Structure 1
Amino acid sequence: MADVHSLTLFRAQPERSQALGAHLLDLAAVAVHDEGCLDYRVFQGSEDNDVWVVQARWISVAAQDDHFNQPHTLAFLDELPKLADEVDLYPLAPKKPTAEL
């Protein structure tokens, strides 16, 4: 079974970028320990500081779904309307093997 990859793009509300980033980093610090998490990274736009991206990789769809039902994720989702104007989740399917670096 292939790993489950996703990108989630967030656009912070005006004057809320630092708060959104802090919440995303707090979430990431816990999410990396969720069962089935293979990778969980937070990025900030280098040209637009209001853009934030979460790159995640899970062992299975069930593991990803379980993450979305964890108390720490649900707490973040409760705060999200106060932090971001736009949120887009993109499930991704790898098309070739990942090169080992």
Structure 2
Amino acid sequence: MSDIHVVAILYAKEGREDGLRADLMTLTRKSAAEEGNLRYELFADANDGRRFVLVEHWRDAEAQGKHHNQSEHIAHFHAHGEDNVERREAVHFLKRIA
């Protein structure tokens, strides 16, 4: 199987939680509609309102790479939404083994 999973954890700047949530909701909606996307979900940490987790599932690395490198909404987020991000806690690219 050549599918790929991505888990990304972003931490909002203090007082910018609502802005990051709105940016990520738009990003999630548009990303989920992309060709090759099998799953794209946004979660908020139940214990820390500044932490957001994106869970992605792509048909293959090519589809994920096209999403990350060529999607207008990703470029827009990097140019504008990053202002609400304090840090990226983790970005994991995973392949299922069982």
Aligned positions of 1:73-92 closer than 5 A: 73-87=74-88, 88-92=90-94
The higher radius of gyration belongs to 1
Please report the TM-score for the alignment, with normalisation by the length of structure 2: 0.92
* Consecutive aligned runs of 4 or more in structure 1 exceeding 3 Å deviation: none
What one-letter code is carried by the residue in structure 1 that aligns with 2:82?
A: P
Any idea what the Cα deviations from partners look like across 1:8-51, whole Å, max 9, x if unmatched?
00000010111101100101111111110000000000000000
Q: Check the 8 A contact 2:2/2:61 in 1, yes or no.
A: no
Unmatched runs of 5 consecutive residues or more in structure 2: none
Q: Give the Cα–Cα distance (whole angstroms) in 2 for the partners of residues 8 and 36 of structure 1.
A: 18
Aligned-pair Cα RMSD in Å: 1.0
Please list, as runs of the form range in 1=range in 2, the aligned pairs for 1:1-101 lying within 5 A after superposition.
Answer: 1-68=1-68, 69-87=70-88, 88-96=90-98
Once the two structures are superposed, what CA deviation does each residue of 1:35-92 show, in whole Å capped at 9, x if it has no partner?
A: 1000000000000000000000000101001111211111011123311111121111
Normalized per residue, the structure richer in helix is: 2
TM value normalised by structure 1: 0.90
Identity of aligned residues (%): 24
